[in-house]
Amino acid sequence: MSLESPSQAPNASCKIMTFRPTMEEFRDFVKYIAYIETQGAHRAGLAKVIPPKEWKPRQSYETVEEMVIPAPIMQVVTGQSGLFTQYNIQKKSMTVGEYRKLANSKKYCTPCHKDFDDLERKYWKNLTFVSPIYGADISGSLYDENISEWNIGHLNTLLDMVEQECGIVIEGVNTPYLYFGMWKTTFAWHTEDMDLYSINYLHFGEPKSWSAPHSLNLVSRFLLPSFSFMPLFHHF
């Protein structure tokens, strides 16, 4: 039996792939992930899945404004010439509504830009100025409890079995985390993200940008609503 050469493998060019499943395909999470792997999506380091229009993870977001971000962090970045260090300083708690006003304020809002490339240049140019506030690592999910398709809190994978059969809970790994971000908030990949797939869903807000370590270049622009999967990732 001959082995398939890298040039003959699916997605040999490691292209970032986008998938648009039907509602029927979308109902089986494990089966669909297996399908996108057969297409070679994992070779790129990340993939984008756009849910069918009829699917909604939450009926209403009206009450989200009242949610409390218990420990927002100020991200202070130092460095130059492409080598940076980030320090996180914990701030006092605030509601999501208060955070939204802060993110849209003159001090923290996204700057005017011609196009996405221009915005990316401004990100790197201004990385060490005006430290943004990040609502990170909030335990929980915005999904309605009755959502069975692609519910980040109940994906029915091996990680669920770790909790169900062994009673082991690993926050942010086999339990969901929420994040509220603004212009320039940054999240780097962790060890668990390198060893396992990660799934992220953008509920609302501005487009979210990701970089894959394969090329260390910006590789995708995520317009809501969308899922992203990556063995390795970085986003801002």
Contact 69, 135 (CB under 8 A): yes
> Is 60 exceeded by the pLDDT of residue 87?
yes
Q: What domains can you pick out in the chain, each with its CATH number?
A: 11-54 (no CATH), 68-235 (2.60.120.650)
Question: Rounded distance, CA 220 to CA 41, Å?
Answer: 14
For residue 157, what are its two tokens? 């994978």
Tell me the mean pLDDT in the region 154-176: 84
pLDDT value at position 214? 55
- Which alpha helices (H) appear in the chain, and where do they start and end? 23-26, 29-38, 96-103, 116-125, 158-166, 191-195
Report the candidate in 33, 15, 16 with the shortest Cα–Cα distance to residue 196.
Answer: 33
Each residue's pLDDT tens digit, 96-127: 999 999 999 999 999 999 999 999 999 999 99
Q: How confident is the model at residue 196, as a pLDDT? A: 81
pTM of the model: 0.82
In this structure, what are the phi and psi dihedrals at residue 182, rounded to the nearest 5 degrees?
A: -135, -175
